[in-house]
């Protein structure tokens, strides 16, 4: 347990004082040196500067008041010793100069002036003790008491210095008064009752110093706690701002007059059309397209509530189609005794995103169900295939053979659909590996040409544009082969017959290793219509009666599984119009392993 007797004086305004609330954090903050102004004064504390200026201004005013009082006494016929007037003039001059250079000009107090043996201490508290002591001595014959003036240096020391220095100042003032009074009593110039009265005044000095120090210490601790709370509030506000700014959901804070107090970037994007929405604060009624939102806010304020699940509000922009928003509202109460709501928090979300999210959830559920169904179909399908093969052996007539071939063809089609569904079924994905994409693409294209019995050489419908150097990518080789075959099948199906109608290109971006590797499959032909383009990568969407609609969907799912990206671009005009699918492949880091290039050769 720490020895509390070693703790420095507890924190006053700007110095330590002894208090039961001292802890290690206070020690780290203030230090143990009993300085007149503590380290926070050196940092330019605004509270310290304000208090110091107030005391220095009071000293300057007191000095001028003393000079004015003595001059007025001379005008009224009172005899004032010249040395007493000179002392008051000198004190007033020094007090005014100190106030001018330190207080009025608001110069921060440097660290070296914080010591009680430095010029600043002597030009304030020290000067007051000496000057008021001399005034008390010089005024003995005039009968004017200056003992009350000692309250100012005692009070100043109590507020701006450690408690020990405050009590030492009170002791110095008491010694000056009692010493002078004792000498006069011993010399027979005054009675003993005067000494007793000054003793009570001295006790008052100690009380004033102690109370001023205690009150200043409590006020300093409250100020320090308030600064800590303010800093915490600033950090919390900054954290809230960052969280709200990063939200995908739009957030608006609107008052009863329709004035938007705050709006995050997502809300500004939802309210904007062709240009950025104004930064908050702004008036919600200033744009005619927001009238639906204004009506919803007014209705919510009038009803005092809003449906928990929210309602749809339509924004109609000039030159553009309507934008449907799902709007949820929450209210804040500023007066507990009143039922009126002052601020309304609007949570906005584009219904297109809501529908897309719901569609994705439904597709995920369908995928899980389809995977289960496909797994159960496999065994009966294999039995049908085997039984059909046995029947084909026992039925030599052409009619029966035609029927068994039809059964076999549809069985193979069902197998492909089952394999496609199982390919994207939820499960543990294989770890991606680094391999040479150029070798794999070349081998895959040659195998695809052979499988589809396409001509080779100059009459081939395919043209390869591959780099001569290895191009390392991060994927799963068989899955990349599956993606490329699906894209080639689509390209061949929609391209016209002839040579050089399908082009496969692998671009490694030489000199730009930070960019992903680009694999593109281009086919000549009419570009895909816009109403079909938006559904290209959706499952079970196909323009062919016998298509499963899973090819491009599987390509997208496999690409996303390994951090790649697939997209579509249409090429129009110029005599080479067509369709291009591009796959952006990740490059491996030095930590990934590498598959040898000869693994993808046709003979491997």
Would you place residue 43 in the very low, low, confident or very high pLDDT band (cuts 50, 70, 90)?
very low
Q: Is the pLDDT of residue 545 over 60?
A: no
Task: Please list, in sequence order, all residues whose beta carbon lies within 8 angstroms of the beta carbon of residue 437, skipping any fewer than 6 positions away.
Answer: 471, 472, 473, 475, 480, 506, 517, 519, 585
CB–CB of 266/260 below 8 Å? no
pLDDT digits (tens, 9 = 90+) for 284-310: 888 888 888 888 888 888 887 888 888
Distance between CA atoms of 539 and 549, rounded to whole angstroms?
6
- Other C-beta atoms closer than 10 Å to the C-beta of 273 total 17
Distance between CA atoms of 371 and 353, rounded to whole angstroms?
26
Give 126's Cβ-side CA count (13 Å radius): 11
Task: DSSP for 187-242, please give it.
Answer: TTSS-HHHHHHHHHHHHHHHHHHHHHHHHHHHHHHHHHHHHHHHHHHHHHHHHHHH
DSSP β-bridge partners for residue 503: 463, 522
Mean pLDDT of the chain: 76
pLDDT digits (tens, 9 = 90+) for 380-427: 888 888 888 888 877 778 877 888 888 887 887 777 777 766 666 655
Instruction: Give pLDDT, residue 582.
Output: 92
Among all chains, which residue has been given the structure tokens 């298509």?
Answer: 547
Find, among 472, 477, 470, 451, the residue nearest to 558 by Cα: 477
Task: State the Cα torsion 402-403-409-411 to the nearest 10°.
Answer: -160
Question: Which class for 604: exposed (0-12), middle (13-18), buried (19 or more C-beta within 10 A)?
Answer: exposed
pLDDT digits (tens, 9 = 90+) for 323-367: 888 888 888 865 544 445 578 888 888 888 877 777 777 766 766
Mean pLDDT computed over 307-317: 83
More confident residue, 383 or 517: 517
Mean pLDDT computed over 68-78: 82
Mean pLDDT computed over 243-261: 84
Instruction: Give pLDDT, residue 24.
Output: 35
DSSP β-bridge partners for residue 453: none
Question: Which class for 74: exposed (0-12), middle (13-18), buried (19 or more C-beta within 10 A)?
Answer: exposed
Sheet with 311-316: strands ordered across? 282-283, 259-263, 250-255, 343-350, 322-332, 311-316
Question: Which class for 473: exposed (0-12), middle (13-18), buried (19 or more C-beta within 10 A)?
Answer: buried
Q: Is the pLDDT of residue 521 over 70?
A: yes
Instruction: Give pLDDT, residue 354.
Output: 78
Q: Is the pLDDT of residue 601 over 70?
A: no
Instruction: Give pLDDT, residue 520.
Output: 93
Task: Please list, in sequence order, all residues whose beta carbon lies within 8 angstroms of the beta carbon of residue 530, skipping any fewer than 6 positions away.
Answer: none
Coil vs helix vs strand at 319: coil
Tell me the range of 110-119, 137-146, 467-476 where mean pLDDT is highest. Answer: 467-476
Give 2's Cβ-side CA count (13 Å radius): 10
Task: DSSP for 158-181, please give it.
Answer: HHHS-HHHHHHHHHHHHHHHHHHH
Q: Is the pLDDT of residue 583 over 90?
A: yes
Mean pLDDT computed over 526-553: 74
Instruction: Give pLDDT, residue 428.
Output: 54
CB–CB of 425/367 below 8 Å? yes
- Which stretch of DSSP H or E encloses residue 260? strand 259-263
Coil vs helix vs strand at 433: strand
Secondary structure letter of residue 5 according to DSSP: G
Instruction: Give pLDDT, residue 113.
Output: 37
Find, among 290, 243, 288, the residue nearest to 268 by Cα: 290
Q: Is the pLDDT of residue 39 over 60?
A: no
More confident residue, 190 or 11: 190
Instruction: Give pLDDT, residue 584.
Output: 92
Instruction: Give pLDDT, residue 439.
Output: 92
Residue 103 has which token pair? Answer: 């207080």
pLDDT digits (tens, 9 = 90+) for 147-196: 888 888 888 888 887 888 888 888 988 888 888 777 877 877 666 677 77
More confident residue, 600 or 252: 252
More confident residue, 27 or 94: 94
pLDDT digits (tens, 9 = 90+) for 448-479: 888 888 888 778 888 889 998 889 999 988 88
Mean pLDDT computed over 206-222: 86
Distance between CA atoms of 350 and 272, rounded to whole angstroms?
12
Would you place residue 497 in the very low, low, confident or very high pLDDT band (cuts 50, 70, 90)?
confident
Our measurement of the distance from residue 156's CA atom to the centroid of its chain's CA atoms, rounded to an integer in Å, reads 45
Where would I find the H helices in 250-397? 265-271, 291-303, 351-394
Find, among 57, 55, 9, 56, the residue nearest to 35 by Cα: 9
Instruction: Give pLDDT, residue 103.
Output: 63
Our measurement of the distance from residue 154's CA atom to the centroid of its chain's CA atoms, rounded to an integer in Å, reads 50
| CA-angle at 57, arms to 53 and 60, nearest 5° | 140
Distance between CA atoms of 515 and 328, rounded to whole angstroms?
42
Q: Confirm whether pTM is higher than 0.75.
A: no
- Which stretch of DSSP H or E encloses residue 470? none
Q: Is the pLDDT of residue 199 over 70?
A: yes
CB–CB of 339/312 below 8 Å? no
Residue 53 has which token pair? Answer: 């200026």
Question: Which class for 433: exposed (0-12), middle (13-18), buried (19 or more C-beta within 10 A)?
Answer: middle
Q: Is the pLDDT of residue 31 over 50?
A: no
Task: State the Cα torsion 368-369-375-380 to the nearest 10°.
Answer: -170
Instruction: Give pLDDT, residue 333.
Output: 65
In residues, how long is the chain? 604
Distance between CA atoms of 66 and 274, rounded to whole angstroms?
74
More confident residue, 273 or 411: 411
Mark residue 565 as left, alpha or beta (left: phi above 0; alpha: psi -120 to 50; beta: remaining): beta
Q: Is the pLDDT of residue 16 over 50?
A: no
Instruction: Give pLDDT, residue 33.
Output: 41
Share of the chain above pLDDT 90, in %: 6
């Amino acid at each position: 347990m720490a020895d509390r007797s070693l703790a420095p004086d507890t924190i006053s305004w700007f110095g330590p004082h002894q208090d039961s609330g001292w802890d290690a954090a206070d020690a780290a903050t203030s230090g143990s040196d009993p300085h007149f102004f503590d380290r926070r004064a050196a940092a330019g504390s605004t509270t310290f500067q304000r208090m110091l200026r107030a005391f220095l201004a009071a000293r300057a005013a007191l000095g001028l008041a003393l000079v004015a009082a003595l001059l007025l006494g001379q005008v009224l016929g009172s005899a004032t010793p010249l040395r007493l007037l000179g002392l008051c003039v000198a004190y007033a001059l020094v007090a005014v100069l100190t106030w001018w250079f330190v207080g009025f000009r608001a110069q921060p107090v440097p660290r070296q002036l914080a010591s009680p043996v430095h010029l600043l201490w002597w030009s304030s508290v020290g000067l007051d003790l000496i000057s008021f002591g001399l005034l008390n001595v010089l005024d003995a014959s005039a009968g004017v008491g200056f003992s009350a003036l000692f309250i100012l240096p005692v009070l100043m020391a109590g507020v701006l210095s450690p408690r020990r220095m405050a009590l030492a100042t009170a002791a110095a003032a008491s010694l000056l008064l009692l010493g002078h009074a004792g000498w006069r009593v011993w010399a027979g110039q005054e009675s003993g009752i005067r000494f007793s009265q000054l003793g009570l005044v001295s006790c008052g000095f100690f009380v004033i110093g102690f109370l001023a120090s205690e009150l200043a210490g409590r006020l300093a601790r409250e100020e320090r706690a308030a600064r800590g709370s303010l800093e915490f509030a600033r950090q919390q506000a900054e954290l809230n701002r960052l969280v709200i700014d990063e939200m995908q959901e739009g957030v608006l804070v609107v008052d009863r007059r329709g004035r938007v107090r705050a709006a995050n970037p997502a809300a500004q994007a939802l309210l904007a059309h062709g240009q950025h929405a104004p930064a908050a604060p702004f008036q919600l009624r200033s744009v005619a397209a927001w009238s639906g939102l204004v009506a919803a806010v007014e209705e919510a304020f009038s009803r005092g509530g809003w449906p928990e699940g929210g309602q749809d509000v339509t924004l109609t922009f000039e030159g553009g189609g309507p934008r449907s928003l799902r709007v949820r509202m929450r209210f804040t109460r500023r007066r507990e005794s009143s039922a009126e709501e002052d601020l309304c928090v609007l949570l906005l979300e584009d219904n297109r995103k809501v529908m897309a999210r719901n569609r994705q959830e439904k597709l995920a559920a369908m995928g899980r169900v389809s995977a289960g169904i496909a797994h159960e179909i496999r065994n009966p399908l294999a039995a049908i295939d085997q039984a059909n093969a046995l029947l084909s052996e026992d039925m030599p007539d052409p009619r029966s053979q035609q029927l068994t071939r039809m059964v076999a063809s549809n069985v193979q089609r069902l197998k492909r659909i089952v394999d496609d569904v199982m390919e994207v079924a939820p499960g543990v994905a294989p770890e991606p590996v680094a391999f040479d994409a150029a070798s794999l693409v070349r081998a895959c294209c040659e195998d695809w040409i052979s499988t589809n019995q396409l001509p080779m050489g100059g009459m081939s419908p395919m043209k390869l544009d591959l780099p001569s150097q290895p191009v390392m990518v991060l994927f799963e080789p068989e899955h990349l082969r599956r993606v490329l075959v699906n894209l080639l099948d689509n390209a061949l199906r929609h391209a016209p017959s002839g040579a050089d109608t399908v082009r496969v290109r692998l671009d490694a971006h030489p000199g730009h290793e930070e960019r992903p590797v680009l694999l593109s499959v281009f086919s000549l032909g009419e570009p895909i219509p816009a109403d079909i383009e938006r559904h290209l990568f959706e499952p079970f969407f196909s323009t062919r009666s016998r298509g499963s609609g899973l090819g491009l969907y599987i390509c997208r799912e496999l690409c996303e599984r390994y951090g790649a990206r697939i997209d579509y671009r249409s090429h129009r005009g110029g005599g080479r119009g067509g369709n291009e699918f591009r796959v952006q492949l990740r490059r491996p880091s030095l930590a990934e392993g590498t598959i040898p290039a000869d693994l993808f050769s046709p003979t491997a």
